[in-house]
């Protein structure tokens, strides 16, 4: 499968709080993905 979008080891920290820690994802053509959070 060819990746349409790929992200590796993504992290995010705001005000000293880690919101996302080293996530990776690969989205292929025709796939639907939702990332839901507070």
What was the pLDDT predicted at 2? 83
In a domain, 4, yes or no: yes
Number of domains in the chain: 1
Range 21-29 contact pairs with CB under 8 angstroms and sequence separation of 24 or more: 26/1, 27/3, 28/1, 28/2, 28/3, 28/4, 29/1, 29/2, 29/4
Q: Distance between CA 5 and CA 26 in Å, rounded? A: 6
Handedness of CA 27, 21, 10, 36 (dihedral sign): positive
Segment 5-19, tens digit of pLDDT: 999 999 999 999 999
In a domain, 22, yes or no: yes
In a domain, 38, yes or no: no
pTM: 0.58
For residues 2 and 31, the model is more confident at: 31
In a domain, 6, yes or no: yes
What was the pLDDT predicted at 36? 86
Q: Which domain holds residue 3?
A: 1-30
User: Given pLDDT bands bounded at 50, 70 and 90, which one contains residue 38?
Assistant: low
In a domain, 21, yes or no: yes
In a domain, 37, yes or no: no
């Amino acid at each position: 499968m060819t990746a349409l979008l790929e992200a590796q080891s993504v992290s995010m920290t705001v005000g000293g709080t880690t919101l996302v820690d080293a996530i990776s994802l690969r989205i292929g053509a025709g796939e639907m993905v939702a990332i839901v959070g507070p």
